[in-house]
Chain A
């Protein structure tokens, strides 16, 4: 009897015009958007390789160790096709500098320190946060918002789920078929279950068909390749989609059980859909700002950083007092007159002593003092940057990071946002993956410093002087951002998936209870 019910429901759904129309629209949207998304991904890839080439060229042109200004990038994630998350708009490039730590964001830049310091260490760079998201050749095209595949499911299939559900019970009750069915020896729970399974199968069909079409389209794009783990992630996304659609079907079923008339049920479903899918996620992000500006925290962090810098300055001054070097760094023109000591060169004023000079004479004893000073200054600077980094990290976790987390939490009151965040966790485009990237950048910075130490670069003449010719830059460690393992991504997605599942169970229980007691 149970199977007969399912088969009958299935036939009703599959033969209906609404199902046909919805499938056609979904597939058209999926094909058109996949085309756009693949194009955007290819543009990001070419942007990425162009920037890589530029960076490599810049490094190879760098005359001295101290002049090095290294940039790393996050390679574009092909799964952003499915769920863009932060991937397409969060910065991709990080400056790897000795005098600043990579950080998720730089809230220090938003408030100016209340006192102006004159020549100080690390004045300009406090934290280096990702900038310049990879992107379209014409950046103005960002004015057209990008749509990912998950968004299509989120909007169209949830609508279809509600359209299947709104008259499932109320309609049968109106036409009187429910009474007839219940005159057979079938439990009420069985009827609910049969309706549920039949509808879920019908909802899965368009989802799987669009997935198939997307994968076929992707196979025609030579630059877009998915690895085995990517397919597992796609599997995770499909799983989340099922749970998500089930939530909407059950919402519709619940409303359908409660209401007497299909017309009322339909109106409630439609308004609930608009609110949950379109209005609430945007509204919550737009209207609610529970963390606020946190100006006081930013100013106090700036003050702490000023103290750290002053301390570093004191150490530097006391070191300089013990050397014969006089005058303003980095050239010390009082003891090392420009015309007698230097042949040519240039330097970047400000924070870290970045310079490239050609000395007239490398055996001068003052050169040794200079080398010792730069060794000291570089080590001091690296330490200072780490101290500033700790303060900055704390500030980030209090401000922008906390804000992003709160946004997520508030948005997650809608199942649509839960679905969005869960899928971006699967795709590796969520906030946690960006944190992974920052960690990788920090590790890379340490590796770079170690490589420099190994070569004794800080104390070498090549640190600042070009007398010994060009530098072999192949010593630099290579950076490649490795995304988190699938199991880790699954863990991250699991909380949201459990929340979705929980919603499912609660909704089903509620529907069941009401349906058991309801008058037919």
Chain B
């Protein structure tokens, strides 16, 4: 019986005007998305590989351990996501490379390389072009796959009630729940048919280009993304049925649905984010951060100066003693420098880390609150799955931190292997002078595994499934008790 209802609903929908209009809009947007992706993506991949090769060649040209430590691993680049067309995620604004910290020279000693605070690309937002949203899958899914189900369901129950067909229908031996499931599946399948059709267009165009080879993991991600989109469509179909069952007039039901849509989909994701950050403890401004860091470094500098002076005083006192003693003092001076340069790196990186952690904690908390809107949940899930946006940014920074630790460990280990070295890391005279083979230097590779993307999207996916079940059971409850 249920399939009878579903097929009847499907026939009804598939021949309607709204189906034709929906198909047209979805296909047009998906094709645009694919075409623009093909125009921009190869260029980005090319630039990325050029930059990576240049930076690696420079890294391999260094043969001395000390120069390696002082100049650092060079710039580390974020790999452009192969699924970039799924989500824009403000990627143009987020940094796509690591930055080195502030370098200085003091009394002939230079600072060591440190990892700087990642700079946001302010100049990409500072353009003359008017602001607009990117037509990515996130836009298409969050806006249209919520709007369209409403257009299919607003009169599903209230319309039949107005015409009186609902009464006739229920006079047969059909339970209310069967009717509801039939209506739900009928609308859902209709919307999903057009969506899959448009997705097919999109992916066909994208896979024609050899630059954007999609691997097995990418196809897996795409599968999950389509699943998320279907789940999202289901939520809005169910909400449409709830409102339709609750209202007497289909006209009123549409108005209610549109207002719900405008609030939850258009306004909530942006307004709630900034609104919630108002009530969070404020982060320090860049100026405060800079002054605090500078103060800490200055303190370090003055303490080093004190140590040096006491050492000099001792040196003067024991100037006439044995040469053996003098050499030891020499070493202790090197050790002071070692202390200085390493602590400097440590302080700079600690401050940067703290500042960044504070900022991202605020963003993450604001995102948590924004998740009141299913559109935001889908946006975050899709961004994570596609390897774009803020979560990806944090993952990239984590990879960079991990690599930097690896890089420093490598230097310490190479130094330990050399018996002639004084093992004073960070000072030119105290380190191994043996040339190192370029193959041995660890290389940074920004990789995003399927596991990574799945982990960060997991919570959003569970939330979506929960929402779907809640809205479906809500529809049951409302419809079972509704007057006909």
Contacts and interface: CB of A to CB of B under 8 A. Distances in A.
Contact of A143 (B90, B128, B139, B144): B90
Contacts of A478: none
Interface string A296-310: 000000000000000
A417 B128 CA distance: 16
Contacts of A167: 251
B375 to A, nearest CB: 12
B477 interface: no
B144 A274 contact: yes
Contacts of A411: 130, 132
B263 interface: yes
A282 B259 contact: no
B35 interface: yes
Chain B CB count within 10 A is highest, among A143, A266, A282, A420, for: A143
Interface string A36-75: 1001100000010010001000000000000000000000
Interface stretch (A207-215, A399-407, A448-456): A399-407
Contacts of A216: none
A17 B252 contact: yes
A162 to B, nearest CB: 10
Interface in A205-256: none
A186 B155 CA distance: 35
B44 to A, nearest CB: 14
Interface string B259-282: 100110011011101110110001
Contacts of A90: 126-128
Contacts of B366: 141, 144
Contacts of A281: 132
B362 A403 contact: no
Contact of B35 (A104, A131, A287, A417): A287
Contacts of A420: 130
Given A137-B282, A282-B132, A132 B252 contact: no
A21 interface: yes
Contact of A282 (B135, B275, B284): B135
A146 B129 contact: no
Contacts of B126: 89-91, 130-133
B128 A141 contact: no
Contact of A25 (B125, B147, B263, B278): B263
B412 interface: no
B270 A139 contact: no
Contact of B93 (A28, A143, A403): A143
B270 A50 contact: no
Given A138-B277, A267-B17, A404 B120 contact: no
Contact of A285 (B125, B129, B274): B129
A29 interface: yes
A39 B278 contact: yes
A407 B131 CA distance: 10
Contacts of A199: none
B255 A283 contact: no
Interface in B355-372: 359-360, 362-363, 366, 370
A286 B21 contact: no
Contact of A133 (B125, B252, B359): B125
Contacts of B269: 144
Contact of B123 (A131, A147, A408): A131
A33 interface: yes
Chain A CB count within 10 A is highest, among B129, B363, B370, for: B129
B122 interface: yes
B416 to A, nearest CB: 40
Contacts of B132: 281-282, 285-286, 411
Interface residues of A, number: 73
Interface string B13-25: 0001110010001
For the residues of B in contact with A, the DSSP-based class is helix
Chain B CB count within 10 A is highest, among A133, A140, A434, for: A140
A155 interface: yes
A274 B150 CA distance: 13
B129 A407 contact: yes
A448 B283 CA distance: 37
Contact of B135 (A130, A159, A283): A283
B129 A133 contact: no
Given A36-B271, A90-B128, A91-B126, A282 B17 contact: no
Nearest to A90: B126
Interface string B373-397: 0000000000000000110000000
B258 A163 contact: yes
B256 interface: yes
Given A146-B270, A271-B21, A283-B32, A400 B128 contact: yes
B40 to A, nearest CB: 10
B29 interface: yes
B189 interface: no
Contacts of A266: 254
A163 B274 contact: no
Given A138-B277, A138-B283, A282-B133, A147 B267 contact: yes
Given A36-B271, A404-B130, A18 B252 contact: yes
B274 A155 contact: no
B259 A25 contact: yes
Interface in A103-131: 104-105, 130-131
A143 to B, nearest CB: 5
A184 interface: no
A152 B32 CA distance: 27
A146 B275 CA distance: 10
Contact of B266 (A84, A144, A155, A286): A155
A494 B246 CA distance: 47
Contact of B120 (A28, A137, A139, A145): A139
B262 A144 contact: no
Contact of B271 (A130, A139, A140, A147): A147
Contacts of A32: 271, 275
B283 to A, nearest CB: 5
Interface in B280-299: 282-285, 287
B134 interface: yes
B35 A275 contact: no
30 contacts: A17-B255, A18-B251, A25-B263, A33-B271, A35-B278, A84-B131, A89-B126, A90-B127, A90-B128, A104-B128, A105-B127, A130-B126, A139-B120, A140-B362, A141-B274, A141-B362, A142-B125, A143-B273, A145-B270, A152-B267, A155-B266, A163-B254, A264-B17, A266-B254, A267-B18, A278-B143, A286-B36, A403-B128, A411-B132, A431-B128
Given A91-B123, A283-B32, A411-B130, 16 more contacts: A18-B251, A32-B271, A36-B274, A36-B275, A104-B128, A105-B128, A133-B125, A139-B359, A140-B359, A143-B389, A147-B267, A274-B144, A278-B266, A287-B35, A407-B129, A420-B130
Interface of A: 17-18, 21-22, 25, 28-29, 32-33, 35-36, 39-40, 47, 50, 54, 84, 86, 89-91, 104-105, 130-133, 137-147, 152, 155-156, 159, 163, 167, 263-264, 266-268, 270-271, 274-275, 278-279, 281-283, 285-287, 400-401, 403-404, 407-408, 411, 417, 420-421, 431, 434
Interface of B: 16-18, 21, 25, 29, 32, 35-36, 90, 93, 120, 122-123, 125-135, 139, 143-144, 147, 151, 155, 251-252, 254-256, 258-259, 262-263, 266-267, 269-271, 273-275, 277-278, 282-285, 287, 359-360, 362-363, 366, 370, 389-390
Shortest Cβ-Cβ A-B pairs, 7 listed: A144-B273, A285-B132, A18-B255, A404-B128, A91-B126, A271-B21, A145-B270
